[in-house]
Structure 1
């Protein structure tokens, strides 16, 4: 049994399939709702940290006054060698904390698109996820690769889709935790982003297959078990 803490940036973006799986495995979950003004915990009160996504940018300090404090918190957790998983905005925040550049991607990537594993992925993760598979995306920004980090996956629209830093910091630009319900919540709250563009799918295309969500969720749970040693 492990104590897993997670950071939530907006009310409509939660843990997705991870919540039920982690609880079903007997792990303790706690959450800081940054959007609601919750206080961040001491970094020594949990064995793993999950940093979720959100529609804001990592530099939107004026609108989201808690961002600088969150970044300082993440630096402390990184320095303690606690396993950290960052998803979408969470991956961008971790890249920034590790000294990489976060910037607008040439194209927004929203919907189901394949990612391909790079050749230098550590063996511990090679056996967990497929070499190439279609995943769910919803992002407009991207990040450069932090020093000492290994690129894990790329897509045609975005070079850095995932990275691993010193075995304990994992950043995923894409989403494996998304369920059909959580995708519908994203669509409802971010519908203005669904424009006609090369790497943006329609609402109908994104929600048409329940089995696709089940497939990526299974990958997410396997990755959680491997990365956090659960």
Structure 2
């Protein structure tokens, strides 16, 4: 039986709609809680798949959150070994820095449902599922320089670097395609302060857009995951 290790930074940002896809294919899933569980005690190469999830902190905040250094070391080892690794939002930014890129505040929040610009390389990747302009969920204020040796897959109107591929088995997504409408209600509570502090954004607006876009995006996201698992030889 194949194993998935998911590193979680806040309880409500989990595998969500990816969970049933993985379990249906026979994966066992376990979570480690960043900042609580000891990330140095695990073998970076042991699990078949590592997923590093999102969170409301910056990769560069290692003084306030020392465990970020442990995540970066774990990712550096795993990525250099080309073991299947998926980074989402903060996880994407951690992958970028672990590969030598710089992560920094982007100057403006990108929160809400917006389409992606899928580049040619992205059209030949599992992200082709979003090439027709269906909106995905963005929720970040940081950005990153593209690490050397990676391939840019997608951009948005606000940020050039939204997704990249490392070698064959490292996929980094700054946006969210793992979410479901139901679970996002937990985000609206957990991120209430950030929503209130973001001009032109409100819970009501996000809920309306989620009802409109999330069902189709969830199906596409699950298809994207399945295609990527096949690409990295992780389907049974």
Q: Which residue of 2 aligns with 1:21?
A: 21
Partner deviation per Cα, 1:104-153 (whole Å, 9 max, x = no partner): 11310111111111133362436444243210111010111111111111
Partner deviation per Cα, 1:160-202 (whole Å, 9 max, x = no partner): 11111112111111001112233222221222222353xx532
Q: Which residue of 2 aligns with 1:162?
A: 163
1:98 and 1:219 map into 2 onto residues whose CA distance is: 28
Of the structure 1 ranges 36-45 and 1-10, higher mean CA displacement relative to structure 2 is found in: 36-45
| Structure 2 stretches lacking a partner, 5+ long | none
The RMSD of aligned alpha carbons is 1.9
| Structure 1 stretches lacking a partner, 5+ long | none
Q: Which residue of 1 aligns with 2:190?
A: 189
Q: Which residue of 2 aligns with 1:95?
A: 96
Q: Which residue of 1 aligns with 2:152?
A: 151
Of the structure 1 ranges 56-65 and 101-110, higher mean CA displacement relative to structure 2 is found in: 56-65
Alpha-carbon offset, residue 13 of structure 1: 1.5
Cα distance change of structure 1 residues 125 and 15 upon mapping to structure 2, 3 Å threshold: closer
Describe the SS at the equivalent of 1:45: coil
Describe the SS at the equivalent of 1:121: helix
Work out whether residues 82 and 169 of structure 2, in 8 Å CA contact, stay in contact via their aligned partners in 1. yes
TM-score, reference length from structure 1 = 0.91
May I ask how many residue pairs the two structures share in their alignment? 228
Of the structure 1 ranges 20-29 and 79-88, higher mean CA displacement relative to structure 2 is found in: 20-29
TM-score, reference length from structure 2 = 0.88
